[in-house]
Structure 1
């Protein structure tokens, strides 16, 4: 039974760490509008715009393991502080990129630096939340923390839609990046404020081994090498494929919505879906791109709702079963998207976010179960698995450019959603295998 006197300070620290989830949620969600923005303003192809995600999630792959070693040496709190400082530097690098260099590569470099800081923060914050309380509640606790992330996913496309697509482009007008600089300069300033707050508070240094031992009797396999624990190794594979799916959907949802909702009839006349036209009028959007960005906002509201509701449902239904059920539904949604039923499939696509909502936190928490003192290192490998998000968008962009259709490229997200479905079904068996590996240890 939890001691009430200890529960209150733990809640405070949980909320403080959860605020970090908002920061990287905002950074990730801005990518969803950056792809189309750079296609428009710098005239890059869909394949090239996919390298935005490569720069971001490639940084996760490169920096996750060094971040884990850093956190093991200096602790969770100092690791968070270092990550916040690097994020602020990356955000402010958008100023020289937009005012002086004005090249696609300069923005990619700024995003890489910013994301290196995010990798450090995520490597510290995700596992910290899982051990900040009972093991059985880790998946639900992480889902609630990720809900803060989801709120940012609502705000960022709204800001991006207003600032980046809020006015029609004038042909041959000089390139103006001022609207892009505003959110990143504000982000940098906010991150510095959060840095100051974390500088003055003192997070409890929770030992993952003792935290899990207090709540479960399973200690035998804590010290088993990570590679001998199949629930962890297959968790990495699943996370890699899932993140590839999520980031791929995020990267090209706006393109897909525009292609599916606005078509041409046999005579070559433009036909706009009635629901899309109504939503454009309702939101007062100045351009189709802005309307599509607001559709993404609706999707992110569903995403946030799924995060909050998922934490509650997980108290009734086992997380692995929820993961499988949500995976099946998302496979069905993506198949409808690939069917490319004009003026219809785009309406189904936002539901994908509702059923994606629990996947990352559930896979993360399930993979870290009973890893004890190896939790920090294991978390870094799971963060490295985010590199799936660096690979999928360029491949999807290539397929879209080659076949001149966004629908075909959603075959990659379909594969990504099959993975969590299978992992959820197999999880009890994998966990037992990990326990058996522990029982064989001397």
Structure 2
């Protein structure tokens, strides 16, 4: 696909009738292909919520140890985000996405030897590899979509593409519910009988092996996507001129910008709150209700459906309501819902987690798009810092698990996401006062 000038600049915004177009005019194929990637990593990220419970049972782990699943996955984001930014500064967004997909897929294939050996450490290494690949992928895809069109609609465009992330998460949880969870949950008496009969070890090994078909199939699909993307021609977008040193940006310059640090802190709180809330839901329901693993997983699916609804309802409203103000209001709503989870453990708390999905919906893409505003030639590096902040998903869940282990209450562990959503609310209201970062109705 040949073009005469980069898109995403003011001269190529394609304004008609005073309106700002949402999609990149004349370049829908790469836009669609990259949007599909949001669906794929949504599937992966929420399969880890299933793995927390599956490994806790099959490897006989504590809640704290089981939450290391999230730590391994999201620590990969922290480790690879900056290298990903440097990679794209040199070779561009497309190279970053292809590299991320390859690493992503290879990490999933590592589940086979990990399951055969039955060693938790090997699973954590595989998940770390998946997280590294996803980190590169997200570092490339998010700023690519934000810049791939009219700058005035960057938040709306990124929210649109991110709207395909929740359907992926729903599919991922459903696959985990029916292909990873066996539905067999022996009680203490049953376990003792199995131990006497000498069948307990084979039962646990069978439960571990249930993760293999799902991850092997997923790995193959991801590698196939890498092949397709590598053979697709991408247009040059704003600030992407490989080989032009003056356009590469500078970390030293970026780190002197306080706005990026504030956005990174907000994304750290957001992702940490989101992941700790979701990964604790199934154990939370197991402790306070009579729900089975599969029933509890259906509630996790419901969280993701409300998130999907929230994304499609909220994105059009951003043409009339300032995105940063909406972010602040949604942060307050989720703070209240997490307080309900803490104070009313049981079905009321579970439904509060479900409702929180609606308000989580816009948080990540809106924080990301706001964080990239005004970075210019440092956009790729700024994107890598915002992805690095996803390490919140590695830190918040084990803290929540540690609180649950020390107090015996998973409900008290929800204080951790509550504090995270307070941080998001503060960021949203702060940004709504910064007129230079606003778009649409804020002008």
Same fold (TM over 0.5): yes
Q: How far 1:224 moved relative to its partner?
A: 10
- Structure 1 residue 68 corresponds to structure 2 residue 68: no
Output the CA distance in 1 between the equivalents of 2:105 and 2:361: 27
Q: 1:308-331, CA deviations, whole angstroms, 9 ceiling, x for partnerless residues?
A: 222111111010111011011101
**Closer/same/farther in 2, CA of residues 433 and 97 from structure 1, 3 Å limit:** closer
Instruction: For structure 2, list consecutive stretches of 5 or more residues without a partner in the other structure.
Output: 1-12, 192-199, 242-249, 439-443
Corresponding residue number in structure 1 for 2:161: 145
Q: How far 1:166 moved relative to its partner?
A: 3.4
Q: How far 1:231 moved relative to its partner?
A: 2.8
| Residue among 133, 138, 145 paired with 1:117 | 133
Q: 1:147-206, CA deviations, whole angstroms, 9 ceiling, x for partnerless residues?
A: 111111111111111122233145315111332111111111111221121121111121
Instruction: Summarize the alignment of residues 84-163 of structure 1 with structure 2, pairs less than 5 Å apart.
Output: 84-99=101-116, 101-163=117-179
Contact 1:229 1:433 in 2 (8 A): no
Contact 1:230 1:430 in 2 (8 A): no
Q: Give the superposed CA RMSD.
A: 2.3
- Structure 1 residue 227 corresponds to structure 2 residue 255: yes
Output the CA distance in 2 between the equivalents of 1:223 and 1:48: 36
- Structure 1 residue 31 corresponds to structure 2 residue 48: yes
- Structure 1 residue 185 corresponds to structure 2 residue 216: yes
- Structure 1 residue 337 corresponds to structure 2 residue 341: yes
Output the CA distance in 1 between the equivalents of 2:234 and 2:273: 34
Contact 2:30 2:232 in 1 (8 A): no
Output the CA distance in 2 between the equivalents of 1:373 and 1:260: 51
**Closer/same/farther in 2, CA of residues 334 and 344 from structure 1, 3 Å limit:** same
Q: How far 1:340 moved relative to its partner?
A: 2.6
| Secondary structure of residue in 2 paired with 1:379 | helix
Output the CA distance in 2 between the equivalents of 1:70 and 1:42: 38
Corresponding residue number in structure 2 for 1:440: none
Q: How far 1:140 moved relative to its partner?
A: 1.2
Output the CA distance in 2 between the equivalents of 1:341 and 1:298: 18
Contact 1:230 1:431 in 2 (8 A): no
- Structure 1 residue 57 corresponds to structure 2 residue 74: yes
Contact 1:336 1:348 in 2 (8 A): yes
Q: 1:12-44, CA deviations, whole angstroms, 9 ceiling, x for partnerless residues?
A: 222111111112111101011111111111011
Q: How far 1:124 moved relative to its partner?
A: 0.5
Q: How many residues align?
A: 399
Corresponding residue number in structure 2 for 1:324: 328
Corresponding residue number in structure 2 for 1:353: 357
| Secondary structure of residue in 1 paired with 2:396 | helix
Contact 1:260 1:345 in 2 (8 A): no
Output the CA distance in 1 between the equivalents of 2:431 and 2:130: 34
TM-score (norm 2): 0.86
Output the CA distance in 2 between the equivalents of 1:157 and 1:292: 11
Corresponding residue number in structure 1 for 2:197: none
Q: 1:63-85, CA deviations, whole angstroms, 9 ceiling, x for partnerless residues?
A: 11011111111111111111111
| Residue among 279, 290, 305 paired with 1:251 | 279
Corresponding residue number in structure 2 for 1:387: 391
Q: How far 1:415 moved relative to its partner?
A: 0.8
**Closer/same/farther in 2, CA of residues 23 and 406 from structure 1, 3 Å limit:** same
Contact 2:276 2:417 in 1 (8 A): yes
| Residue among 233, 236, 239 paired with 2:267 | 239
| Secondary structure of residue in 2 paired with 1:349 | helix
**Closer/same/farther in 2, CA of residues 229 and 260 from structure 1, 3 Å limit:** same
| Residue among 38, 48, 69 paired with 1:21 | 38
TM-score (norm 1): 0.86
**Closer/same/farther in 2, CA of residues 428 and 346 from structure 1, 3 Å limit:** closer
| Residue among 220, 233, 236 paired with 1:202 | 233
Instruction: For structure 1, list consecutive stretches of 5 or more residues without a partner in the other structure.
Output: 211-221, 263-275, 277-287, 435-442
**Closer/same/farther in 2, CA of residues 178 and 433 from structure 1, 3 Å limit:** closer
Output the CA distance in 1 between the equivalents of 2:271 and 2:332: 16
Corresponding residue number in structure 1 for 2:60: 43
Output the CA distance in 2 between the equivalents of 1:75 and 1:129: 13
Contact 1:209 1:371 in 2 (8 A): no
- Structure 1 residue 2 corresponds to structure 2 residue 14: yes
